[in-house]
Amino acid sequence: MSRPPTRTHARKRRIDYPRRSRNGWRRWVPSWQQVVGTVLGGFGVLAALFTVVYLSVDIPDENDEARKQATVYYWADGSQMVSTGAVNRQNITLAEIPDSVERAVIAAENDSFYTDSGVSATGIARAAASVLGGGETQGGSTITQQYVKNTYLSQEQTAERKFKEFFISLKLSNSKTKPEILQGYLNTSWFGRGAYGIQAAAQAYYGIPAKELDAGQAAMLASLLKGAEEYDPAGGNGNHERAVARWKWILDRQVKTGAMTKEVRDEYRTFPEPRKVSKPTSLGGQTGYLVDIANKYIKKRSGLTDKDLARGDYRIHTTFEKDKVRRLERAVRQVRERDLDPDKRPQDRHVQVGAASVRPEDGAVIAVYGGADAIRHFANNADTAGVPAGSAFKPFVLAAALQHGTAAGEEITLDSSYDSLGRLVAGGPTSVVPAPPGTSPDQRWTLPTTLRESLIESGNAAFVQLGRDVGLEKVKDLAVASGLREESMAPLEQTFPLGTSTPSAVRLADAYTTFSNDGTRAEPYSVTKVLRNGEALAGFDRPRVQRVMDAEVARDVNDTLRTVGWLAMDPAAGKAEARSLDDLSAGSTGKGDRMKSAWFIGNADGLTTAVTMFRTKPDTPQLLPMQGVGGPGSERGNVFPPRIWTAYTTAE
């Protein structure tokens, strides 16, 4: 019987992998033909995918940012406070925009604008990788991409939006000319101060139309495209320094790219300071200050920026109570008109008042007085640091002492005192100790003053020693835990316990709620709800109440502050009217203070209200002296904050 023939050759495979002609590990090394084929195939797939996506993504209709509804702010009772945020934009043609603006913007944002494809692949990849990795989105967008974001897309920072931005930018580059794109970009970009577009920006910063901008002004406005909140020279926190540095860089960059000669660059060595910030008339009176505080809180809790808020279409519900805001404003005006006479007394000029009311139970900011008029006096006196607290800070020193004792482990009570040697003495005011050896006979014995009496009388020596014994770091930590900002704390020097720190009225009022609230407090808040397109934004839950000190410590300090409050009242302050306020407790500055400020922080009828008075002159960084304000007997102006507080608290 014959056997079938043996197969000596296997059927040939389409892809020789692993490779039959190689042995061992070499079988798994692809040939160069296989490598080239795979790469070309991959590029083919990517090209096909790119084409499909490119064809499927359409340029959407232009968004309606310019027609957005205004942002509306509401009082605590739900009634409307003010409507703001209509987009300030005036479209102009590229022919009306100077070449200096065009050169500055291109140098600052995208110097390859006229030669690139409209997109930056590396910038998109970096941004997408950052988003997918959980980080913040990165920059690197071209002018075309920024125009697409401004005009066709939302401002949300997501990888999907960057993906759309890439393909729409490519399509736009093929359907619009570069001058058309640049014109659209300059008309839609945010420059701060409520201004969208170069025409509105020129008016907001220099009070001139865009066509009159010179190269120096153009470079300053171009610097704002990096972020107006950080580069508007009128802003705080180093804005001016950043703006000048960016301005210089943009001018130098134009020289480097050949857009400007060195000779022209040399003509612009002085920074073109913009005009002062102005507010719309709808934000006059106290309204502008209220909106300012609400916006700061919104930006802190939600991550929204001034640019976002300026687009409008938000519904913002605040904690401010209309009747109390108006009552506080009326109280300040009454005391100023009655007790100050700037026409006759030079010391009564440049006097400023700031005040804020906080609800102790939850930290809600109920009312503020930020100045005479938010349009004429831009700085918000209720929410600004820079005014030393003086003796109004001493309750925090006493609280730290009662809470922690001395660094050596000694317990401190309200009846503790210091002898003439600076030694801590337990017991009441009847304790006596020998004076230092060598003193005259009539100085041989000293009657100490208790810490309670030292706080009531604004005694300085005892509190300097107390701060040293407890530890200035512990005093600062307790003050910050009570609500004062870390950045408002003064250096930890010998005078620190005497109130060299500079908290705002809002923060000092909130911190004092700790004493009347048995040692607990909440972060001050001014917004209860923010809606956009009917949806509530996250981040506006009521702040959590936290314990800062033992309840017994808070009660001891608050009991002492009851006496401080009554002694701070005088007949002119309305002591008779205030008798109904049986829960009054207060801290204040007094005769012994040598700070350039006067304070009164009173708690009564469910509100803690801080009132401060100081003198400041425009363009003068230091506070002016308070000596002589209001005439003889004003105790460096210290009588006026309690008068304002009483007029506000007892008004019907």
Residues 539-582 have pLDDT tens digits of 999 999 999 999 999 999 999 999 998 888 765 555 555 555 66
Residue-wise pLDDT for 129-150, tens only, equals 544 444 433 345 889 888 888 7
Q: What is the largest CA-CA distance in the chain?
A: 145
Contact predicate 615/565, CB 8 Å: no
The per-residue pLDDT for range 66-101, each reduced to its tens digit, is 445 678 899 999 998 998 866 677 788 999 999 999
Spatial CA neighbour of 529 closest among 355, 364, 289, 358 = 364
DSSP string for residues in 125-178: HHHHHHHHTTS-------HHHHHHHHHTS-----HHHHHHHHHHHHHHHHHS-H
Beta bridge pairs of residue 88 = 195
In percent, how much of the chain has pLDDT > 70? Answer: 78
Confidence label for 405 from pLDDT (cuts 50, 70 and 90): very high
Q: In sequence order, what are the residues at sequence separation of 6 or more whose Cβ sits closer than 8 angstroms to the Cβ of residue 499? A: 388, 389, 390, 391, 392, 393, 394, 589, 593, 595
pLDDT at 52: 46
User: What average pLDDT score do residues 586-612 get?
Assistant: 92
Q: What one-letter code names the amino acid at 419?
A: D
pLDDT recorded at residue 482: 98
pLDDT in tens, 415-468: 999 887 788 887 654 444 444 444 444 443 444 589 999 999 888 999 999 999
SS3 96: helix
Parallel, antiparallel or unpaired: strands 585-588 and 598-604: antiparallel
- Check pLDDT > 50 for residue 181: yes
Compute the mean pLDDT over every residue in the chain, rounded to the nearest whole number.
84
CB 162 within 8 A of CB 128: yes
What's the distance, Cα to Cα, between the start and end of the chain in Å? Answer: 126
Q: Tens digits of per-residue pLDDT, 409-418? A: 999 999 999 8
CATH number for the domain running over 90-265:
1.10.3810.10
Determine the average pLDDT of the residues in 332-353: 95
| CA atoms 632, 638, 644, 650: torsion sign | negative
Q: Is the pLDDT of residue 7 over 60?
A: no
Question: What average pLDDT does this structure show over 12-35?
Answer: 66
> What's the pLDDT score for residue 493?
96
In this predicted structure, what is the pLDDT of residue 547?
97
Residue at token pair 């304000």:
629
Domain ranges of the chain: 90-265, 398-499
Alpha-carbon distances of 136 from 126, 130, 165, 230, 458, rounded to whole Å: 11, 6, 17, 18, 50
Is the model's pLDDT at 176 over the cut of 80? Answer: yes
pLDDT of residue 437: 47
Given this model, what pLDDT does residue 240 score?
95
Label residue 605 left, alpha or beta by phi (over 0 means left) and psi (-120 to 50 means alpha). Answer: left
Mean pLDDT calculated for residue range 168-195 = 85
Predicted local distance difference test score (pLDDT) of residue 154: 52
Comparing 224 with 62, the larger pLDDT belongs to 224
CA-to-CA dists, residue 1 to 4, 5, 8, 154, 419, angstroms: 10, 13, 21, 84, 129
How confident is the model at residue 137, as a pLDDT? 38
